[in-house]
Amino acid sequence: MARGALETEIKLALPDRKTARRLLRAAGFRLWKRRVFEGNTLYDTPDLALRAAGKLLRVRQAGGTAILTYKGTPLVSRHKSREELEAAVSDAGTVGAIFGRLGMQRVFRYEKYRTEYRQAGHSGVATLDETPLGLFVELEGAPRWIDRAARQLGFSPADYITASYARLYFEWCERNRVPPSDMVFPRS
């Protein structure tokens, strides 16, 4: 069953997990969903039409489930807002094969560990995302809640990051003169 909504979010960069967990606890956040590994694959047309329009088509595998997500063109101000449609799928590999048959291709893969937190009495969500680029808290909810939660965590609007993880990765590659590939953890 598809779920659609307007997603509004920001990211905040943090130095480490210990600091992030301490700040979240002090702001009244409690663990909602335990840490899980996520593998995310983005699909696009050969001419990258979705990327050019600021849209996204993703298949996420996390904790034994797979979710197909479409994200519309973002409206960026202090927060990033955009349409988000999601549906659970039974087989991420088959979804990728279907996209291939439709002329789409896998264009980017990124990984992260995600832990979800919530504050009692509030509908917003804070996720602690551990990525190959570093640690981020993502706040998703109503703009007023995001601003209040960010202040409680010790951040101001000047600290808000509205870029996607893919955009952050490509900017990191450019700054470090590294050819971009996928944003994945090193394999041992």
> Residues 37-49: pLDDT tens digits?
999 999 999 999 9
In 63-157, beta strands by DSSP E? 65-71, 75-76, 80-89, 105-119, 125-131, 134-140
Structure tokens at 74: 């973002």
CATH dotted code for 3-175: 2.40.320.10
Give Cα 54 distance to the centre of its chain. 14
> Residues 87-116: pLDDT tens digits?
999 999 999 999 999 999 999 999 999 999
* Long-range interactions of 151-159: CB distance < 8 A, separation 24+: 152/26, 152/27, 152/28, 153/12, 153/23, 153/24, 153/27, 154/23, 155/12, 157/78, 159/12, 159/13
Cα–Cα distance between 122 and 160 in angstroms, integer? 20
Cα–Cα distance between 90 and 150 in angstroms, integer? 36
HSE on the CB side for 71, CA within 13 Å? 19
- Does this model's pTM top 0.85? yes
Helix (H, G, I), strand (E, B) or coil at 6: strand
Asked if the model's pLDDT at residue 6 lies above 80, the reply is yes
Asked if the model's pLDDT at residue 76 lies above 90, the reply is no
Cα–Cα distance between 146 and 141 in angstroms, integer? 6
Contact present, 162 and 79 (Cβ < 8 Å):
yes
